[in-house]
Structure 1
Amino acid sequence: MKVRIKREIVTMGKPDIDPLASAGTYVEPQDWNALIADPDTIVIDTRNDYEVAVGSFEGAIDPKTRSFRDFPGWFRNERERLLSVGTGKKTKVAMFCTGGIRCEKSTAFLKQEGIEEVYHLKGGILRYLETVPASQSLWRGECFVFDQRVTIGHGLIEGTYSLCHACRRPVSSSDRNSPLFEEGVSCPACHTERSDAQRESYRERQRQEELAAARGELHVGAVRIGQGGSEDNVSRP
């Protein structure tokens, strides 16, 4: 067994930041709505673009990052514009992610940048969807998760998305009806990102998986959902 020591559990490119010492203030799910409804609160979704596309909190800012490493640069570039909103009182920043891991790091980063009032959703989106009734929820859409469910909704009920096995992005029912979608080969999001040779390789893998499934076996090259990363430490090609 090989053991690899990583400088960061969640890769932000800021190994000097200590979330245990300087993370933002936790906000319980039942108190979250009041915080993000405050006009002096900026709400930032710290997840990657393909996750935000599936669902987010009403009014949240989407940094459109492809990797968590992009977040510090995005904030520094947008800082002046972000902090100019509100009624003129001291601006509060509220941040959230899937399970709370990324926010430990991102809120500590903002505090290091001199932002005093920084908050994050305790337990992340998952705990919010588990505990806040749908009738009171400010969440819109579904939440991408890094397991076989792909997405979930309120009550942590499995959602309506499947997974593209070429790029591992979530695929909606309308995506599956696109001429750019081919099971195991491509989806509308990644079709132009792959070469003909790559797509042919994926087709062969898909054929082998289907043959193995017909025999009641698992193909050795099958794509396993959740393989290769944790819920808060995965980026897309």
Structure 2
Amino acid sequence: MTANYQVLLYYQYTHIEDPKKLVVEQKELCQKLNLKGRILIAEEGLNGTVSGTMEETTRYMEEMHQHPLFENMPFKIDLHDGHAFKKLTVKQRPEIVAWHMNDQKVDPNQLTGVHLSPSQWYQAMTEEDVIVIDGRNDFEYDLGHFRGAIRPDVSTTREFPEWIRQHKEDWKDKKILTYCTGGIRCEKLSGVLLQEGLEKVYQLDGGIVTYGKDPNVQGALFDGQCYVFDDRISVPINQKEHVIVGKCHHCGSPAEKYLNCRYDPCDRRHLVCPDCESIHGGYCSNSCRSQDTTTSN
């Protein structure tokens, strides 16, 4: 297939006076351009990912850059062979990433880690006595991560502050590197680390997806694939070597494909190898398979 579509990933922390009005404007603009995807808008900013043809997504970026709040907003662009989303949703939320830090709010425009370019990040990772923290959820880490990165013991972003408080004494006086998919989660994650008294805090500018496209580093030291929240599920990052880090939920063999359990009440996200996908039919367990009365097994 010809890659005549693009997937855009973007965000901007900026004060939005009337989020409800911007929701209406964004919905109208995306519908006019036939875009699909998810856009979250709050008083603190905008977080979006949409797909469309090259012409449609280019027009969207041009129109966004004409808006005074988003004139300098960077876009991460992936080529694709069709829409990466089934529909368009534009919603107002209290936050553009659900941190739920009512008593510990962080404004990335006031407090955030030092941004490192892909080349600077690669160099920093090769230094001694460096702590690399994956700023994503555990299932994202399991599919792919930077070599030597700490796997966070969290299943949602809101659990990060407490997890940091449990470990911060072990990280004092060390250089801390944080990363996530596109950079948005690290804007506040690095701020939380600073609030907790850690001083040498850095983040990967543009996240994993930007790192994978940089011609100087070519995704080096990232093992596995990067989980993305659209129909693609994952994208390759390391252009120099392909190292599979995921393990099949059923047999433990190397695996890079995520499935949601076919039994709807379960819907468990699990990695599966080709053999076990065939053997287990998309179910995460024999129990789920036996309980599913909607299909003939």
| TM-score relative to the length of structure 1 | 0.68
Partner of residue 100, structure 1: 183
2:155 and 2:289 map into 1 onto residues whose CA distance is 20
Q: Percent of aligned pairs with the same residue?
A: 34
Cα deviation code 1:90-149 (max 9, x no counterpart): 311110001111101101111111212111001100011111567770101111111121
Q: Is the contact between residue 150 and residue 170 of structure 1 (CA under 8 Å) also seen in structure 2?
A: no
What's the secondary structure of 1:42's corresponding residue? strand
Q: Which amino acid aligns with 2:281?
A: E
Return closer, same or farther for 1:22/1:137 CA change in 2, 3 Å cut-off: same
Q: Which amino acid aligns with 2:284?
A: C
Higher relative contact order (CA 8 A, sep 6+): 1
1:21 and 1:59 map into 2 onto residues whose CA distance is 30
What's the secondary structure of 1:26's corresponding residue? strand
2:216 and 2:235 map into 1 onto residues whose CA distance is 14
Q: Is the contact between residue 211 and residue 219 of structure 2 (CA under 8 Å) also seen in structure 1?
A: no
For this pair of structures, how many residues does the alignment match?
189
1:42 and 1:14 map into 2 onto residues whose CA distance is 24
**1:171 aligned to 271, 279, 284, which one?**
271
Partner of residue 148, structure 2: 59
State the shift of 1:19 in Å.
Answer: 1.4
Partner of residue 235, structure 2: 152
Partner of residue 99, structure 2: 12
1:18 and 1:97 map into 2 onto residues whose CA distance is 18
Q: Is the contact between residue 100 and residue 121 of structure 1 (CA under 8 Å) also seen in structure 2?
A: yes
Listed as ranges, the gaps of 5+ residues in structure 2 are 1-23, 25-88, 245-255
Return closer, same or farther for 1:59/1:18 CA change in 2, 3 Å cut-off: same
Q: Which amino acid aligns with 2:205?
A: K
Q: Is the contact between residue 29 and residue 132 of structure 1 (CA under 8 Å) also seen in structure 2?
A: no
Counterparts of residues 183-222 of structure 1 (less than 5 Å): 183=282, 186-187=283-284, 199-201=292-294, 203=295
Partner of residue 214, structure 1: none
Larger helix percent: 1
Partner of residue 213, structure 1: none
State the shift of 1:187 in Å.
Answer: 2.4
Return closer, same or farther for 1:3/1:110 CA change in 2, 3 Å cut-off: same
Return closer, same or farther for 1:168/1:134 CA change in 2, 3 Å cut-off: farther
Listed as ranges, the gaps of 5+ residues in structure 1 are 84-89, 208-237
Partner of residue 77, structure 1: 166
Q: Is the contact between residue 119 and residue 216 of structure 2 (CA under 8 Å) also seen in structure 1?
A: no
What's the secondary structure of 1:59's corresponding residue? coil
1:8 and 1:136 map into 2 onto residues whose CA distance is 30
